[in-house]
Chains A and B, each alone.
Chain A
Amino acid sequence: MGDNYDVVIIGGGATGTGIVRDLAMRGLSCLLVEKEDLATGTSGRFHGLLHSGARYAVRDPHSAQECVQENRILKEIAANCLEDTGGYFIALKEDDPEYIRVWLEACRQVGVATEEISPSELLKQEPVLHKDVTKAYLVPDAAVDGFTLAAANALSAEKLGAKVKNYTRVVGFKREGQRITGVFLRNAITGQEWEVNCRLVINAAGAWAGQIGELAGVNLNIIPDKGVLIVFNHRITGKVLNRLRPPGDGDIFVPHGSVTIFGTTSRATHDPQDNQATREDVLQLLAEGRKMIPDLEEMRLIRAFAGVRPLYQASDQEGTGRQATRDFSLLDHEKLDGLNGFISVVGGKLTTYRLMAQAASDLAAQKLGNDKPCLTHLEPLANLGIERDKDKKHLCQCEMISKGMLEKAVKGKEQFSLSDIRRLTRLGMGPCQGTFCTYRAAGFYHELKNLTAQEGNKLLKEHVQERWKGARPVLWGGQAQEIEINRGIYLSLLNLDRLDSGDYV
């Protein structure tokens, strides 16, 4: 009954895809299942900052040290998924000068390279910054793309024979006494169900790890913590910008492709699916960000989104929100709960995903009697092969995406949405937020993939709706005008609302 694997990994975020790559490199047969598309959870819903470690140096030196190491490794093995922008930490007049001294010392201790830059030199390079910068330091921060990072890890594993299944939900576990022996799966689109057998299951479901634990009958104290981020339609600064003060809300700007991501907030939530930002969140962020960039409110916002941090607490005594550790935990449920064949890896952050994957894979390999060492830090990730080509006819002009790139992005995909394509290519992520390219991409794929009219309409409507979700909390200024143009095109000009698309939402 069903296929057999050594390991089934649950969760297609950075951690899960990191694990499947790690285990595949050790020669184990693996299946990764993800209920939506890769990196649709927290790995695709964060500021896109590859930490240098500087942010955590004072309060969480262990975590900071891990960041220092992983920052160096990822710049080597995942160069295609990141942009090595460098970063600044800037202190303003109102910030505590004593904290700067403590921070510098902590950075030195954990090994973060800092280099002082004079406020006048800084303002020459980044003229939008507030004139009252008192101190500024350069650190090796970078911008990282969580979507392509997860996809590249998954592809590396697939090249070694691993199976990666998106839109596949775990609906139950097969058990023999106190041992998990397999999983029951369901295709999230077709509803088709099947089962697979395995020797070990790794729960890497991030914010959803508690729900997976529940299915297996173990209790995990995951504290979902919501962080809101907003996106501006241009690169405000050339490098990552951090506020030099104890970590708080609204103190990180990350230049990403053609846009800037700014965040975050930290608020407890009950639902890992809670990824809607509100207007209040946005206004609060702007009020804070204005202190570093005075003209911030004049700049055009194009969307807001939220991600849920899967913070983990071993006991109820530890802190929540900003106080909770950014460290990760590896849970061996055989020892904790007497349940064999099931381990969870929880907490952590994207910068240290590889290290989390290594720890989980070490434990898995040991349990399965595999003595191969981890090699993930030595070999570069597989190339996704969707890089820019020579075609100068751009279907998405904001992000300069050609038909050829769209064709490569959909290769081997049976079921896909334009959002899946967007995550791989940045289609529709630029200033126009899909106003022009959504229609073009739907028309293009309709023909390429031999879709029915209804399927083409669904592709188009779903993506219009998805972009709308992000625009709603920022409906003012240029974005309010853009949305009116968008409605004019999709409703008046195309009459899309009257076209049949099945049940698209």
Chain B
Amino acid sequence: MYDVIVMGAGLAGLMAAAAAAELNKKVLVVAKGRGNLYSASGYIDFLGYYPTDCRQPLENVVEALEDMVNDNPQHPYALLGKEKVDQAFDFFLKIMNRAGYSYSGSWKKNRIYPTAAGALAPTSLVPQRSCLDLASYQEILVVGFREMLDFYPFYAADNLREQFYQQGEKKLIRAAWLDLGLSKERELNSYDLAVALEDEAVRFRLAEQLRVKVSENTLVILPAVLGIRKWARVQGDLERMLACTFLEIPTLPPSVTGMRLAESLMEYLEQRGVEFQLGYPVTGALQEGKKCTGIKIETASGRVQVKRAQSYVLATGGILGGGLKVKPGGITEEIFQIKIEMLQEMSNQDFFAPQGQPLSRTGIRVNGLLQPVGAQGEPLLTNVFAAGKNLTGYDPFVEKSGNGVALVSGCAAGWLAGKGAL
């Protein structure tokens, strides 16, 4: 018997587990696989653009949040309020510090970082290692690796140059390919390269090729490949050898920055006594009235295990993570069989429509306690708290709020579940 069972191991699920564990609760995390963090950027975007059709990143985020609470009361931020946002961000910074993978920044102020396409994009929190002010560097070198097909330094550099030029900033921005001679057999992804760079000899080769191209004033921008578990060693070594600054950019999946966040967080949670059962899907729930009394997990042998807790957090990732199933006739949350309202038109003609896509906005309706509610607003379940991409009312992709909502609603769900278990 647990106090809290968390379903899902993405950022929302892990934060819920952390919040409940902080209340000294006995917590179990179950998930069908590794969460979405492994393909996410590892940056925490709170709110990049609001309204979503503005071209420039938000300057005054606090004010925009107030507008959003008025305009869209179903938005998870509106349901939870500014105080919970503050608490959640503080809590995240605190536990990541304890976990040995510190983050910097604040949800109240957007910082500007380049993306893998070279777009200047707003974000709130970044790993401490990546914390720097882009504007203060006059000389930038964008570096790609010949063996890796997921990053194009000349393309990214051209876009960066173009945007800085538009802003009236003159910078020297160059691009270069390096060839570490790692594989002729197949293309490597960022994970492969990160593993390879944990080897000192490979690191040395990288430094040798870069040495002639950089000075101590150079900011070297490169895809996030500088080590997985040994990132501190890899990055420290390179900075010592070359005396310049490195900035890693999150890449297409698999994402090394997301992986570092997920693994340090999970390691920390294990130390705090949180149990994990990964690899098997939750196939259903036992219910008495509006109370969940257990969840069913299908194991490899095909046997069904029942796990019980006082409260449950549902952080199964929405349509993106597979927690919500879309069928031609309707959308269902599969564990509790919650029916989701399906709109006549699930998509806009324009992929890039600034108002976003109804599909991405679709999810479970909840009240301020994150309990799933029915059409009249009545709670459907009293001891189940939903979080993250499962929630309706926001399109993370146009707002740039994905990890922010996961963090805030995950924490809140963990607290609510933990307190309910008193």
Partners in one complex: yes
Q: Check A498 against B187 for contact (C-beta < 8 Å).
A: no
Q: Check B326 against A480 for contact (C-beta < 8 Å).
A: yes
Q: Given contacts A484-B320, A487-B357, is CB(A476)–CB(B327) below 8 Å?
A: yes
Residue of A nearest to B161 (CB): A453
Q: Check B397 against A452 for contact (C-beta < 8 Å).
A: no
Within 8 A of A (CB), among B326-379: 326-328, 346-347, 349-352, 354, 357, 359-360
Point out the residues of chain A lying under 8 angstroms from B154, CB to CB: 443, 446-447
Which bracket fits the contact residues of B? 35 or more
Q: Check B115 against A495 for contact (C-beta < 8 Å).
A: yes
Partner of A489, one of B55, B118, B147, B252: B252
Q: Check A436 against B319 for contact (C-beta < 8 Å).
A: no
The stretch from A27-35, A68-76, A333-341, A464-472 touching chain B is: A464-472
Point out the residues of chain B lying under 8 angstroms from A283, CB to CB: 328
Task: Report the minimal beta-carbon distance from B48 to chain A, rounded to whole angstroms.
Answer: 8
The answer to the question of A499 belonging to the interface, with a C-beta cut-off of 8 Å to chain B, is yes
- Expressed in whole angstroms, the Cα–Cα distance for A333 and B409 within the complex equals 71
Point out the residues of chain B lying under 8 angstroms from A461, CB to CB: 352
Partner of B149, one of A282, A395, A456, A464: A395
Within 8 A of B (CB), among A264-307: 279, 282-283, 286, 297
The answer to the question of A59 belonging to the interface, with a C-beta cut-off of 8 Å to chain B, is no
Q: Check B400 against A492 for contact (C-beta < 8 Å).
A: yes
Q: Check A488 against B40 for contact (C-beta < 8 Å).
A: yes
Point out the residues of chain A lying under 8 angstroms from B350, CB to CB: 465, 505
CB 8 Å contact bits of A463-505 with B (1 = contact, 0 = none): 0110011001001110011011101111111111111100001
Q: Check A493 against B158 for contact (C-beta < 8 Å).
A: no
- Expressed in whole angstroms, the Cα–Cα distance for A283 and B396 within the complex equals 29
The answer to the question of A444 belonging to the interface, with a C-beta cut-off of 8 Å to chain B, is yes
Task: Report the minimal beta-carbon distance from A481 to chain B, rounded to whole angstroms.
Answer: 6
Partner of A465, one of B161, B351, B402: B351
Q: Check A495 against B121 for contact (C-beta < 8 Å).
A: yes
Q: Check B320 against A453 for contact (C-beta < 8 Å).
A: no
Point out the residues of chain A lying under 8 angstroms from B137, CB to CB: none
Q: Given contacts A494-B115, A495-B400, is CB(A453)–CB(B352) below 8 Å?
A: no
Point out the residues of chain B lying under 8 angstroms from A487, CB to CB: 351, 357, 360, 397
The answer to the question of A392 belonging to the interface, with a C-beta cut-off of 8 Å to chain B, is yes
Task: Report the minimal beta-carbon distance from A376 to chain B, rounded to whole angstroms.
Answer: 40
Q: Check B320 against A498 for contact (C-beta < 8 Å).
A: no
Within 8 A of A (CB), among B164-218: 184-187
The answer to the question of B162 belonging to the interface, with a C-beta cut-off of 8 Å to chain A, is yes
The answer to the question of A433 belonging to the interface, with a C-beta cut-off of 8 Å to chain B, is no
Total contacting residues, chain A, CB less than 8 A: 53
Residue of B nearest to A465 (CB): B351
Q: Check A446 against B155 for contact (C-beta < 8 Å).
A: yes
Q: Check B117 against A496 for contact (C-beta < 8 Å).
A: yes
Point out the residues of chain B lying under 8 angstroms from A472, CB to CB: 347, 349
**A-B interface pairs (CB < 8 A), number:** 146
The answer to the question of B116 belonging to the interface, with a C-beta cut-off of 8 Å to chain A, is yes
The answer to the question of A440 belonging to the interface, with a C-beta cut-off of 8 Å to chain B, is yes
Q: Check B162 against A454 for contact (C-beta < 8 Å).
A: yes
Q: Check B397 against A392 for contact (C-beta < 8 Å).
A: no
Residue of B nearest to A276 (CB): B349
Point out the residues of chain A lying under 8 angstroms from B149, CB to CB: 393-395, 440
CB 8 Å contact bits of A240-273 with B (1 = contact, 0 = none): 0000000000000000000000000000000000
Partner of B119, one of A279, A465, A498: A498
The answer to the question of B398 belonging to the interface, with a C-beta cut-off of 8 Å to chain A, is yes
Partner of B319, one of A297, A484, A495: A484
Q: Check A481 against B347 for contact (C-beta < 8 Å).
A: no
Q: Check B319 against A481 for contact (C-beta < 8 Å).
A: yes
Residue of B nearest to A301 (CB): B328
Within 8 A of B (CB), among A427-460: 436, 439-440, 442-444, 446-447, 452-454, 456-457, 460
Q: Given contacts A393-B149, A444-B152, A485-B320, is CB(A499)–CB(B159) below 8 Å?
A: yes
Q: Check B319 against A493 for contact (C-beta < 8 Å).
A: no
Partner of A494, one of B117, B319, B359: B117
The answer to the question of B322 belonging to the interface, with a C-beta cut-off of 8 Å to chain A, is yes
- Expressed in whole angstroms, the Cα–Cα distance for A498 and B56 within the complex equals 8
Binding site for B on A (CB under 8 A): 279, 282-283, 286, 297, 392-395, 397, 436, 439-440, 442-444, 446-447, 452-454, 456-457, 460-461, 464-465, 468-469, 472, 475-477, 480-481, 483-485, 487-500, 505
Extra 19 A-B pairs, beta carbons < 8 Å, given A394-B187, A476-B326, A496-B352: A286-B328, A393-B147, A394-B186, A395-B149, A395-B187, A443-B154, A447-B154, A457-B117, A464-B351, A472-B347, A475-B347, A476-B328, A480-B319, A485-B253, A487-B351, A487-B360, A494-B119, A495-B117, A495-B119
10 A-B residue pairs with Cβ-Cβ distance under 8 Å, sorted by A, are A392-B187, A440-B150, A443-B151, A446-B154, A480-B326, A484-B320, A494-B119, A497-B352, A497-B354, A499-B117
